[in-house]
Amino acid sequence: MRIREKTLTILLVLSLVANVLLLAVALMPEDDTSPALSKPDGVDLLPTATTAPLSPARGAENASAASMQVPVIIQRVEVDRADPFLYEEVTEEGAMVNVSVEVVPGKGRVLVQTTPLMGIAFQDAANLAVVAAANHSRVDLAGSDIIFSIQGPEEVSEIDGPSAGALMAALLLSVLEDFPLNESVTVTGTIDENGSIGPVGGILEKAEAAAASGKTLMILSDENNQVFDYREEARSFGGLRIARQRPVVVDAKEYIEENIGIRVEYVDTLDDLLADVRAPAAAPVAGAS
């Protein structure tokens, strides 16, 4: 019995000591800032979405955002019910998409915000556009985030493709090198890190969309200098006339300008592209000194 009483006494004492320690911890004064929520030493907070100069040497007093429209190909899927079967018809057409770029303080990231959902090809195009623009302008972007925003037609569920790459590079350079853009111009073409402009598909549909939106000049890659024109070829056998559509390769510039009504220029380098997308210099005012 004595051993049992001693054991109970020891347990009681330990329980009292533990309660005293817990009470002391609870009554200790807390720091003004919780360690879990405080800013670690040497680590910057995430950048806020406000514009800032890129470097003292270039663009220090100018806006760091620009926007332009680019033609893209969109697919529409229409379902036709003819009992007991369902038929899907996929059609392609051109559409204009708004693309904008903003340069903000950051950590050298390339971010793409899209509406509606866009595929990963847009992200790849954005990354290449940033590399090409940085190489061209020789501006250090390590302390900046580049944010591309793409706004497509509301009725389209998804758009994908690299054809906005050349325009993205031109947009970013208009910020880095501080020049205005010609709003009557658009471009469709890929871009690589060396600034070469590459070919894309669907240029006839894109030209139609660009012309319908009021653009007066569409810039294409040199490698997009040919398109197929389908011409009717007819033959008569006795009293029977048979006609067929024969594809003929024609110059893209001539065909688009004659049949769609928008001027076309070919480029193969980023410098050539910039010469066409820059807004023309304002004429001097008469009598100004």
Q: What is the mean pLDDT of the chain?
A: 77
Q: How far apart are the C-alpha atoms of 24 and 247, rounded to whole Å? A: 90
Most confident of the ranges 34-38, 158-162, 235-239, 247-251: 247-251
Strand partners of residue 217: 185, 263
Burial of 288 (0-12, 13-18, 19+ CB in 10 A): exposed
Most confident of the ranges 205-214, 226-235, 237-246: 205-214
Task: Provide the token pair at 159.
Answer: 């758009």
HEC profile for the chain?
Answer: CHHHHHHHHHHHHHHHHHHHHHHHHHHCCCCCCCCCCCCCCCCCCCCCCCCCCCECCECCCCCCEEEEEEEEEEEEEEEEEECCEEEEEEEEEEEEEEEEEEEEECCCCEEEEEECEECHHHHHHHHHHHHHHHHHHCCCCCCEEEEEEEECCCCCCEECCCCCHHHHHHHHHHHHCCCCECCCEEECCEECCCCEEECCCCHHHHHHHHHHCCCCEEEEEHHHCEEEEEEEEEEEECCEEEEEEEEEEEEHHHHHHHHCCCEEEEECEHHHHHHHHECCCCCCCCCCC
Whether the pTM exceeds 0.85: the reply is: no
Q: How confident is the model at residue 155 (pLDDT cuts 50, 70, 90)?
A: low
Q: How far apart are the C-alpha atoms of 161 and 92, rounded to whole Å? A: 14
List the one residue out of 221, 223, 229, 222 whose CA is nearest residue 256. 229
Q: How far apart are the C-alpha atoms of 184 and 182, rounded to whole Å? A: 6
Q: How confident is the model at residue 44 (pLDDT cuts 50, 70, 90)?
A: very low
On the question of a cis peptide bond just before residue 84, with omega within 30 degrees of 0, the verdict is yes
Q: What CA–CA distances, in Å, run from 8 to 3, 21, 22?
A: 9, 20, 21
Where in the chain are the domains? Answer: 65-277
Range name among 26-30, 56-60, 200-204, 257-261 with the lowest pLDDT average = 56-60
Q: How far apart are the C-alpha atoms of 256 and 263, rounded to whole Å? A: 8
Q: How far apart are the C-alpha atoms of 286 and 10, rounded to whole Å? A: 104
Q: Please report the pLDDT score of residue 232 as a whole number.
A: 76
Residue 286 CB coordination number (10 Å) = 5
C-alpha triplet 172, 176, 179: angle, nearest 5°: 90
- Residue 1 pLDDT > 50: no
Task: Provide the token pair at 237.
Answer: 């056998």
The residue behind tokens 């590459």 is 198
- CATH architecture of structural domain 65-277: 2-Layer Sandwich (3.30)
